[in-house]
Amino acid sequence: MRAAGRPAAPSAGRGLIPIRTLRFLLGDQLTRRIATLTDLDPDHDVVLMVEVRAEATYVRHHKQKIAFLFSAMRHFAAELEAEGIAVDYVRLDAPGNTGSFTGELARAVARHAVDRVVVTEPGEWRVWEMMQGWRADLGPPVEIRDDNRFLCPRADFAAWAGDRRSLRMETFYRGMRRRTGLLMEGSEPTGGRWNFDPENRKGLPKGHVVPERVGFPPDAVTVEVIALVEHAFADHFGETDAFAWPVTRAEAITAFKHFLAVGLPTFGDYQDAMRADAPFLYHALIAPALNAGLLTPEEVCRAAERAYRAGAAPLHCVEGFIRQILGWREYVRGLYWARMPDYAASNALAATRDLPWFYWSGETAMNCLAQCIGATRTHAYAHHIQRLMVTGNFALLAGIAPAQVEEWYLVVYADAYEWVELPNVHGMVLWADGGVTGSKPYAASGAYINRMSDYCRGCAYDVAKKSGPSACPFNYLYWNFLIRHAERLADNPRLAMPYRTLARMDPTKRAAILDDAARFLDGLDAAPSAAPADQGSLALAAPRSDPARRPARDTATTASRRKG
Ligand SMILES: Cc1cc2nc3c(=O)[nH]c(=O)nc-3n(C[C@H](O)[C@H](O)[C@H](O)COP(=O)(O)OP(=O)(O)OC[C@H]3O[C@@H](n4cnc5c(N)ncnc54)[C@H](O)[C@@H]3O)c2cc1C
Ligand code: SF4
C-alpha cells in the first residue's frame, strides 16, 4: 500500500486548489458505501487505515477477531487501491506506529498536509469520545458523519425512545417492518402475523443430520496476519487454527448465499437448539461480516425476503431471520446510543461476584458451559441461545458483576463490538438495566438446557436432580435467584407462576436449595482478574482439575466447516 503525496496545485490562486481530504476509515467500516467515502475524490483525497495496538488490547480480544479485522482491512485497502484510490495503510508493525487512533491520525495529518478530515461515527462510545477530542485538538476541521449502514438512524431511534423507561423490541420491530416494507402486504404483515417466534423453538430430533457449512481457509494475507497476531497478542484468549471467516465482501456474499440455500429454510425451526458436535447448526454466521461492513443489513434482509417470495424458504424461518436483524440488531444499536454512557453503570440486581475462572479456561464439570466455552475458544463463535441461555444464564443466576461479564463477551466473539454486546449482556442477559430491554430476566433451570440440547447426556451432574452435590447447579441456582430477588421480582406478572410455586414450596426443600446454592457459589473459583491476563499460560499449564472434566473440542465440526 502506498502513501499518497500531495498533488501539485493546479494554479497559483489558493481558491483554485482543491480541498484535500483525509478520509479516516475505521477497521469495522469496510464498505465502499460508507459515508466517509461517498464523495471521495480519487485525484486528491487519501484514505487512512491503521492497525493500532490500543484498539486490539483495550480488552484482550479473541485472536480470531483481531486476525479477521486486520485481514479484512488489508484486503479492503487493496481493493480501494485497485480502483486507483490512494490508501495510506499503517500496519501494526510499521516503524513509528504510535499504537493509537489519535496518534496515527495526527501523524497522517502531518504527512499529507490535508485541509480536512472526514470520518464516520464509530461503534463504541469510547471512540466517539475520542473523536470529540480530534474535533477540538487535531488542527484541520474534522467532519463526523452518520453511520449510513444501519436501517434506523440514531436520531430516529432516540426520537422513538424519548425518555421512556422501558423500550420493547417488538414495538420497535413492527415500526421497522412498516418503515422498510419488509414482509409487508400494504399495512399488514405478511402471513397475518408480525412474529412467528412460537414456531421457532424446536429441539433437534435425534440423529438429525446438520449440513456442512462453507468456510474460508486462510489465504496468504490471512496467514501473514495470523502469524502477526499469534506473536503480538500471544496472551489473548482463543485459538486461530480453525479460522474460517470470510475476509472480503466476495467471500461474505458466497457465505451468505450458502446460508440462503442450506440454512435459511430450516433456520427458524432450530434457532434455539444446541448440540455438542454442531456449534453452527443453521445459523447464518454473518455477524462478523455484517458488523465490519462486508455485508449490509438491508441487502441480507431483502435477499431473505426474496427467498420467501420465491418459495425457497418458509415464512416462519424468513421472519425469524429478518427479526434478528431488522429487529434485534437495529434495536440494540439504537438503544446503545440513546442511553449511553449512563446505561453501562446500572446494576439493578446488585450483582458483585467475580467471573469464575472457567469462563476463560472452559474447565468445568458443567458440560453445557464447557461445550459453549470450548467452541468459543475454537471458533470465536457461539450462537444466540448459547450466549443467552448457557453462559449468560449462569452469569445471571450466579450474580456475576455486570462489568466483568460484559468484558468477557466483548473479548470472546469475532463479532463483538460494544454497541451490540453491551445491550445484549447488560440488558437482555443480566437484567442490569432493571427492565429497559426485557420485561423479565431470562433465568432458567437445567430443564430448559436439557430440552434444547444434548449437553446433559454427557454431564457429570444430573439434570433431573434438584438438590444435593450431584444435582444440576442450574436447578438450585434458579430457585436461589428467585428467592434472593423476590423483593424486586415477585410482583412481575411474567414471573407469577414460578413465584406461586415458590410460595407453595416445602420449607425444608427451600432451605436445601439455599444450602446447595451457597455451597456451590462459595466453591466457585474467581479468575485472578476480569481480563484473561495470564489465562493463556495457565490454560496450557497442567490442568488443575481432572482431565476428564476438560471441555471437548469439536474438531470434527471445525474440519467440516473448513472443507467447504
Ligand atoms: C449475551 C449476548 C451477547 C451478544 N453479543 C453480540 C455481539 O457482540 N455482536 C453481535 O453481532 N451479536 C451479538 N449477540 C447477538 C447474536 O448472538 C449474534 O449476533 C449471533 O450469534 C451471530 O451469529 P450468526 O451470524 O450466526 O447469527 P444468526 O443467529 O444467524 O442471526 C442472524 C443475524 O441476526 C443478528 N442478531 C441476532 N440476534 C441478535 C441480537 N440479540 N442482537 C443483535 N443482533 C442480533 C446478527 O447480526 C446475526 O448475524 C449477542 C447475543 C447475546 C445473547
Ligand atoms: S446437567 Fe445441568 S450443568 Fe450439566 S449440562 Fe445439563 S444443564 Fe448443564
Who lines ligand 2 at CB under 6 A? Answer: 366-368, 446, 449-450, 455-456, 459, 461, 463, 472-474
pLDDT of residue 172: 96
pLDDT at residue 282 tops 90: yes
Question: Ligand 1 centroid to 10 CA: how many Å?
Answer: 50
**Percent of the chain with pLDDT strictly greater than 70:** 90
Q: Measured between alpha carbons, how far is 264 from 287 in angstroms, rounded to an integer? A: 15
- Is any ligand 1 atom within 6 A of the Cβ of residue 289? no
Residue 540 pLDDT level (bands cut at 50, 70, 90) = very low
pLDDT of residue 144: 97
Give the pLDDT confidence of 285-298 residue by residue, as tens digits.
999 999 999 999 99
Residue 17 pLDDT level (bands cut at 50, 70, 90) = low
Residue 6 pLDDT level (bands cut at 50, 70, 90) = very low
Residue in 65, 298, 384 to alter for ligand 1 test, most ligand atoms within 8 A of Cβ? 384
Segment 325-347 shows an average pLDDT of: 96
Q: What is the pTM of this model?
A: 0.91
Atom of ligand 2 nearest to the CA of 463: 1
Distances (CA, A) of 150 to 131, 407, 530: 20, 25, 32
Residue in 372, 391, 445, 456 to alter for ligand 2 test, most ligand atoms within 8 A of Cβ? 456
pLDDT at residue 528 tops 70: no
Question: Ligand 1 centroid to 279 CA: how many Å?
Answer: 14
Q: What is the helix, strand, coil percentage profile of the chain, to 5?
A: 50, 5, 45
pLDDT of residue 201: 81
Give the pLDDT confidence of 93-109 residue by residue, as tens digits.
999 999 999 999 999 99
Residue 276 pLDDT level (bands cut at 50, 70, 90) = very high
40-60 burial string, b = 16+ CB within 10 Å, else e? beeebbbbbbbbbeebbbebb
Residue whose Cα lies nearest atom 2 of ligand 2: it is 472
Q: Measured between alpha carbons, how far is 524 from 398 in angstroms, rounded to an integer? A: 10
Question: In terms of DSSP bridges, do strands 142-145 and 46-50 run parallel, antiparallel, or are they unpaired?
Answer: unpaired
Q: Measured between alpha carbons, how far is 543 from 358 in angstroms, rounded to an integer? A: 12
Q: Measured between alpha carbons, how far is 30 from 291 in angstroms, rounded to an integer? A: 9
- Is any ligand 1 atom within 6 A of the Cβ of residue 409? yes
Question: Ligand 2 centroid to 463 CA: how many Å?
Answer: 6
Question: Ligand 2 centroid to 457 CA: how many Å?
Answer: 8
Give the pLDDT confidence of 133-174 residue by residue, as tens digits.
999 999 999 999 999 999 999 999 999 999 888 899 999 999
Asked if residue 430 lies in contact with residue 396, where contact means CB atoms within 8 angstroms, the answer is yes
User: CA torsion sign, 333 to 338 to 339 to 340?
Assistant: positive
pLDDT of residue 166: 83
If you average pLDDT over every residue of the chain, what do you get? 90
pLDDT of residue 206: 87
pLDDT of residue 525: 76
Ramachandran area for residue 400 (φ above 0: left; ψ -120 to 50: alpha; else beta): beta
Residue 18 pLDDT level (bands cut at 50, 70, 90) = low
Q: Measured between alpha carbons, how far is 120 from 150 in angstroms, rounded to an integer? A: 12
- Is any ligand 1 atom within 6 A of the Cβ of residue 390? no
- Is any ligand 1 atom within 6 A of the Cβ of residue 291? yes
Question: Ligand 1 centroid to 272 CA: how many Å?
Answer: 13
Atom of ligand 2 nearest to the CA of 460: 4
**Percent of the chain with pLDDT strictly greater than 90:** 85
Question: Ligand 1 centroid to 328 CA: how many Å?
Answer: 8
Residue in 372, 420, 425, 429 to alter for ligand 1 test, most ligand atoms within 8 A of Cβ? 420
Residue 62: Cβ-neighbour burial (10 angstroms; 0-12, 13-18, 19+): buried
pLDDT at residue 215 tops 50: yes
Question: In terms of DSSP bridges, do strands 21-24 and 116-120 run parallel, antiparallel, or are they unpaired?
Answer: parallel
Give the pLDDT confidence of 399-452 residue by residue, as tens digits.
999 999 999 999 999 999 999 999 999 999 999 999 999 999 999 999 999 999
Give the pLDDT confidence of 482-519 residue by residue, as tens digits.
999 999 999 999 999 999 999 999 999 999 999 999 99
Atom of ligand 1 nearest to the CA of 283: 30
Question: Ligand 1 centroid to 171 CA: how many Å?
Answer: 19
Residue whose Cα lies nearest atom 6 of ligand 2: it is 456
pLDDT at residue 536 tops 80: no
pLDDT of residue 550: 29
Higher-confidence residue of 555 and 264: namely 264
The number of helix segments (H) and strand segments (E) in the chain equals: 26, 7
From 503, 387, 507, 396, select the one nearest 445 (Cα to Cα): 396
Q: Measured between alpha carbons, how far is 502 from 92 in angstroms, rounded to an integer? A: 57
From 131, 140, 116, select the one nearest 46 (Cα to Cα): 116
CA quadruple 101, 102, 108, 109: dihedral, nearest 10: 140
Which residue do the cell numbers 470465536 mark?
380
What are the grid coordinates assigned to 508, written together? 425444608
Residue whose Cα lies nearest atom 7 of ligand 2: it is 446
Residue 552 pLDDT level (bands cut at 50, 70, 90) = very low
DSSP H helices, 324-467, are 330-339, 358-361, 367-379, 384-385, 393-398, 402-412, 418-422, 446-452
pLDDT of residue 16: 53
Distances (CA, A) of 178 to 181, 185, 307, 369, 458: 5, 10, 20, 39, 46
Q: Measured between alpha carbons, how far is 286 from 216 in angstroms, rounded to an integer? A: 13
- Is any ligand 1 atom within 6 A of the Cβ of residue 324? yes
Altogether, the residues listed in the chain come to a count of 564
Contacts of 111 (CB under 8 A, 6+ apart): 3, 88
Segment 42-59 shows an average pLDDT of: 96
Give the pLDDT confidence of 364-398 residue by residue, as tens digits.
999 999 999 999 999 999 999 999 999 999 999 99
pLDDT at residue 328 tops 60: yes
pLDDT at residue 531 tops 90: no
Question: Can you say how many angstroms the Cα of residue 449 is from the centroid of all Cα atoms in its chain?
Answer: 22
Distances (CA, A) of 247 to 51, 224, 242, 292: 16, 13, 14, 10
Q: Measured between alpha carbons, how far is 105 from 98 in angstroms, rounded to an integer? A: 10
Question: In terms of DSSP bridges, do strands 46-50 and 21-24 run parallel, antiparallel, or are they unpaired?
Answer: parallel
- Is any ligand 1 atom within 6 A of the Cβ of residue 142? no
pLDDT of residue 532: 37
Residue in 368, 373, 465, 466 to alter for ligand 2 test, most ligand atoms within 8 A of Cβ? 368
**Lowest-pLDDT choice from 165-179, 209-223, 366-380, 542-556:** 542-556
pLDDT at residue 530 tops 90: no
What are the grid coordinates assigned to 504, written together? 407453595
Cβ neighbours around 235 below 10 Å, total: 14
pLDDT of residue 181: 98
